[in-house]
Chains A and B, each alone.
Chain A
Amino acid sequence: MNAKKRKRIAITGMGTKNAIGADVPEFAAGLKQGRCGIAEIDLFDTSAFRTHKGGQVKNFNPRLAIPGTFSLKRMSRADQLSFAATLEALTDAGFDPLPDNVTEETGVAIGGGSGGLFEAENFYADLLKKGMAQAKFSRLATIYCASSADRIASALGLGGPKTTFMTACSAGATALGYARDLISGGQARIMLAGGVEPMCRITYAAFNALKSVDEDVCRPFDRTRAGLSLGEAAAILVLEPLEAAQARGAKIYGELLGYGVTCDSFHMTAPDEKASGAVRSMRAALADAGLSPADVDYINAHGTATPVNDVMETRAIREVFGKRSYDIPVSSTKSMHAHTLGAAGALEGIASLLALSGGFIPPTVNFRERDPECDLDYVTEGARRADLRVVLSNSFAFGGNNTTVIFGRYDGQGAAHA
């Protein structure tokens, strides 16, 4: 659909749990300070693993984060983190509680990942020890990666669309884009969209096996970078038509202007070094938003800090933005909150909206040495004040799935920035 004819969609509420933020204000402060939340993991014993660090959500107490009126029974860590973030986002949007006449038309779109795998590990351990007949199957009930969306919708009595995206590291970003389309296509009035990824041994072991994890903190775009840091997070955003947000006098963080989804069609775990999928993803998002490369003020990079990704992404940015690419600040907030896989696109969406509405560019931290192949402005000297109008956020995934989302500042009545 033509960008000019499409209903404008605003983001009016946000909630998160991640390694540098127990809520959105703390996350915003962390991004501005350049705080790195990657440290020793204590969620499980890492002594048998090659690496021991990660971006864990520390000191998370579900009973404090979620009011007693909601049952925590059979909720996985993923369900708890995402539900806590949802409640924060709704409160932030002024929907505490959601009016009855709105709940029926409110839906959920979640980028999922490991779901209840952390809890299901206990089931697998049981299975190995006792066999199928004796294993406790009730432990398997929370494993399903769509259960977080189910829990949110059911607890709040929502009647709108419910979809869980399983495109690994691009899932959270795709969920935001589709949520916009569900509203503009008339399927919902309000969408709760985002992503959730819990830390667990199986994911940790899988990335260890692929040797794609840095033993130390990850160093995006640095010459000595040696891989990603795994993290966990929940990030939920409230999307609604701009007109509706204005009519109810809501605070507006920004608009979702466009998104693009493409596929490398190259290799399951390695990015295409020619960067074609990433280039097409950014171009598709710009076309969807009705913008040109000249309009972009800041790029929130995928920037995992794997040797291949960062060169590939740099190359893609150079191809899309040409000479201007050297004038556009590019940063990877994964250097602070780590790579949160299924939640990454949504968490970095929140970071992008905070940057837009707060007038700053989050830095790439942990940076030491310049890589001749990564020659852009990666904002390595700390956060910058900046007047941003358009932010582009990249999320690329295993399977060759690429998603780019573009957010725009909103300057009218209800704008969140000072």
Chain B
Amino acid sequence: MPERRALPDARRVVVTGLGMATPLGVGKDVFAGRLFAGASGIGPVQAFDTQAAASRLGAEVRDFSPRDFISVKNLRRMDRTSLLTTASARLALEDANITVTEENRDRVGILLGTAFGATDVTVSVAGALLAEGPASVNPILVPNTVMNAPAGHASIELGFRGVNTTVTHFGVSAENAIAYAVSEIRRGAADVMLAGGADILSKFYYEALSKFRGLSPDNGGEEGARPFDAGRNGYVAGEGCGILCLESLAHARGRGAAIACEVTGAGLGSSRATPSGWPTGTEGIRRTFRRALADAAIDPSEVSAVSAAANGGRMLDAVEARAYEEIFTADAAPWITSVKGALGESFSGGGIRACALALSVEKGCLPPTVGLTRPITGLPLVWGEKRETGIRHAVQAGISFGGTYAYLVFSRYES
């Protein structure tokens, strides 16, 4: 067993707030209610015409009214990714009961993961340039083409001035961001870090994903998201934003904050893969999982639950299931669930999934894998309905094509 470290409170990182704008709803209460009830956020795409793509379904954020969260002055400068991010960041701060003031604003920061940023804005700038020449490029649009725009907008609207960084790596963008935020609190660079991910479903992006043949149905069968299911045939594209409010335990205690759970570890890793191909071996998952557990100083036998990366894709789900069969002994395997059956694959959806897992650890309850009816593995999967179970340590898996991995360990808070 790894050596237990007695970390000082300044280096322990706790979750004190959750904010999200997701296909299962906006805000913690609505989101949690629908998540644990096994509701699905997937339906026919309403925001744009999907005729040019081979799919019809998407996991869209609806019932989202930016005006409820963002001042009119800043609102008109923002693209959709920035709107979702800023609203979720505000919700996370409110949930944590933190008011950004002149006294604390330099110690509050944000670490955002986004896989694509504002692709629709970039496409529009590129279109103007190539069709009509440099003079037609609208300078108002230019700032939103950079991927750090959402985190920049959020900081302007909400007034925090601490560490501000944006990272990207397809499907592990948000897990990478959360891992870095934890590292920033541990090194003492911030007291409070908002951390998570945001991506949007745009027409361009939907059609491009369809062209790359990852979307369900990749075989002409019935369209749908079915993680770990024998009948899976690709993922359903989604969107949304999920933000954790992370805080050093010392800071959280100092202000008497309610603590949802603790982030005790993170592991990052890579393995060989073709640029847009899924890894076919399990070594990347195993080594990254090991790193995360070593960082948390726990053993695989102490893991009570895994929030899987499986999204209904043929290769990803099979490799991930195989990796856990190798890591866990049959009689001591944890409960495994994938919320992507309800939320779709939004690449930086790791932010929303982290919010879901923090709720699971706090409530002692795992949401079901929506869409799963015929499991491909004998591992204990949660499906059909939610599973009430005491959770000591829960692991979030981030796996991306290109061979990139990020695992996070959420633990029950014990003083």
Once bound together, how far apart are the Cα atoms of A167 and B177, in whole Å?
A: 13
Is the pair B272, A154 in contact by a Cβ cutoff of 8 Å?
A: yes
Q: How distant is A17 from chain B, measured CB to nearest CB, in Å?
A: 21
Contacts of B207 in A (CB 8 A): 132
> A141-B275, A166-B147 known; A284 and B142 CB under 8 Å?
no
> A268-B143, A400-B155 known; A163 and B169 CB under 8 Å?
yes
| Interface residue? B356 (CB, 8 A) | no
Once bound together, how far apart are the Cα atoms of A399 and B268, in whole Å?
A: 27
Is the pair B166, A167 in contact by a Cβ cutoff of 8 Å?
A: yes
Q: How distant is B410 from chain A, measured CB to nearest CB, in Å?
A: 18
Once bound together, how far apart are the Cα atoms of A268 and B208, in whole Å?
A: 29
Once bound together, how far apart are the Cα atoms of A400 and B161, in whole Å?
A: 9
Is the pair B134, A166 in contact by a Cβ cutoff of 8 Å?
A: no
| Interface residue? B269 (CB, 8 A) | yes
Selected interface stretch from A142-150, A228-236, A352-360, A387-395: A142-150
Is the pair A208, B404 in contact by a Cβ cutoff of 8 Å?
A: no
Contacts of B106 in A (CB 8 A): 262, 280
Q: How distant is B345 from chain A, measured CB to nearest CB, in Å?
A: 16
Question: 1/0 per residue B156-190: CB within 8 Å of A?
Answer: 10011111111111100000100010011011110
The number of residues on chain B lying at the interface, defined by a beta carbon within 8 Å of a beta carbon of chain A, is 81
| Interface residue? B327 (CB, 8 A) | no
> A50-B134, A124-B127 known; A140 and B208 CB under 8 Å?
yes
Q: Which among B161, B275, B291 is the interface contact of A147 at CB below 8 angstroms? A: B275
Is the pair A210, B142 in contact by a Cβ cutoff of 8 Å?
A: yes
Once bound together, how far apart are the Cα atoms of A204 and B78, in whole Å?
A: 23
Q: How distant is A131 from chain B, measured CB to nearest CB, in Å?
A: 8
Q: Which among B144, B165, B266 is the interface contact of A174 at CB below 8 angstroms? A: B165
Is the pair B168, A263 in contact by a Cβ cutoff of 8 Å?
A: no
Q: Which among B142, B269, B284 is the interface contact of A209 at CB below 8 angstroms? A: B142
Q: How distant is A186 from chain B, measured CB to nearest CB, in Å?
A: 7
Is the pair A265, B180 in contact by a Cβ cutoff of 8 Å?
A: no
Is the pair B287, A104 in contact by a Cβ cutoff of 8 Å?
A: yes
Q: Which among A132, A159, A268 is the interface contact of B152 at CB below 8 angstroms? A: A268
Selected interface stretch from A177-185, A238-246, A367-375: A177-185
Is the pair A128, B127 in contact by a Cβ cutoff of 8 Å?
A: yes
Once bound together, how far apart are the Cα atoms of A280 and B109, in whole Å?
A: 13
Is the pair B268, A107 in contact by a Cβ cutoff of 8 Å?
A: yes
Contacts of B117 in A (CB 8 A): 166
Contacts of B11 in A (CB 8 A): 1
Once bound together, how far apart are the Cα atoms of A121 and B125, in whole Å?
A: 11
| Interface residue? A380 (CB, 8 A) | no
Once bound together, how far apart are the Cα atoms of A157 and B283, in whole Å?
A: 12
Contacts of B155 in A (CB 8 A): 263-265, 400
Contacts of A351 in B (CB 8 A): none
The chain A residue sitting closest to B53, CB to CB, is A132
The chain B residue sitting closest to A201, CB to CB, is B129
Specify which of A104, A168, A182, A205 lies most central, judged by the most chain B CB atoms within 10 Å of its CB: A205
Is the pair B130, A153 in contact by a Cβ cutoff of 8 Å?
A: no
Once bound together, how far apart are the Cα atoms of A185 and B292, in whole Å?
A: 11
Specify which of B52, B130, B153 lies most central, judged by the most chain A CB atoms within 10 Å of its CB: B130
| Interface residue? B105 (CB, 8 A) | yes
Contacts of A182 in B (CB 8 A): 183, 268
| Interface residue? A269 (CB, 8 A) | yes
Is the pair A268, B275 in contact by a Cβ cutoff of 8 Å?
A: no
Is the pair B130, A145 in contact by a Cβ cutoff of 8 Å?
A: no
Is the pair A107, B270 in contact by a Cβ cutoff of 8 Å?
A: yes
Contacts of A280 in B (CB 8 A): 106, 161
Is the pair B164, A144 in contact by a Cβ cutoff of 8 Å?
A: no
Contacts of A260 in B (CB 8 A): 189
The chain A residue sitting closest to B283, CB to CB, is A159
Contacts of B160 in A (CB 8 A): 263, 265
Cβ contacts A to B, 6 pairs, < 8 Å: A48-B135, A137-B212, A142-B275, A165-B165, A262-B162, A268-B144
Known: A128-B127, A261-B109, A263-B152. 16 other contacts (CB 8 A): A121-B126, A128-B130, A154-B275, A159-B283, A163-B169, A166-B166, A209-B139, A210-B139, A260-B189, A263-B109, A263-B110, A263-B155, A263-B164, A265-B105, A399-B148, A399-B166
Q: Which 9 A-B pairs have the closest CB atoms?
A: A399-B152, A161-B268, A263-B164, A166-B147, A268-B143, A209-B137, A399-B148, A150-B402, A265-B155
